[in-house]
Structure 1
């Protein structure tokens, strides 16, 4: 026998599962972005704010997703290599 509260409870459970998944994804993205900031800060002798500005600006200029680019940086790719992979040259600007 189903009570009146069960559908409402089920909807709440589904909502919080979805919210939890979204928060986990955001946290995972944030971790890789922070790691990339550290890599870029060390490579280019920048502060953390400068490293994030570099990463974000590069992504915007090349229409690249921030998290995917951060993963590539952490994996050891240089930003110039990423530009070549996308077919964007610095002369085309």
Structure 2
């Protein structure tokens, strides 16, 4: 939450943490907005690679942890009183 990000009290996410929020544009008529309606959308999903089992490592090698975030995928930046946690800029949150 925002207070955890600002004051540094946010809980640590697992290494398989959340991705970015998905946003969709859906046009509704006033009647649909007032009375409700149902719509179907397609949500993209990730498929695990059979070659590397999702690790990103080449066959015959082992994955290595990012040296910047120690494999956490997140870095915490502190500026005075404020502390902000964000995706690691070096591994782009992959760890």
The structure carrying a bigger strand percent of its residues is 2
TM-score per shorter chain, which class?
under 0.3
TM-score normalised by length of structure 2:
0.25
TM-score normalised by length of structure 1:
0.25
Whose RCO is larger (CA < 8 A, sep 6+)? 2
The structure carrying a bigger helix percent of its residues is 1
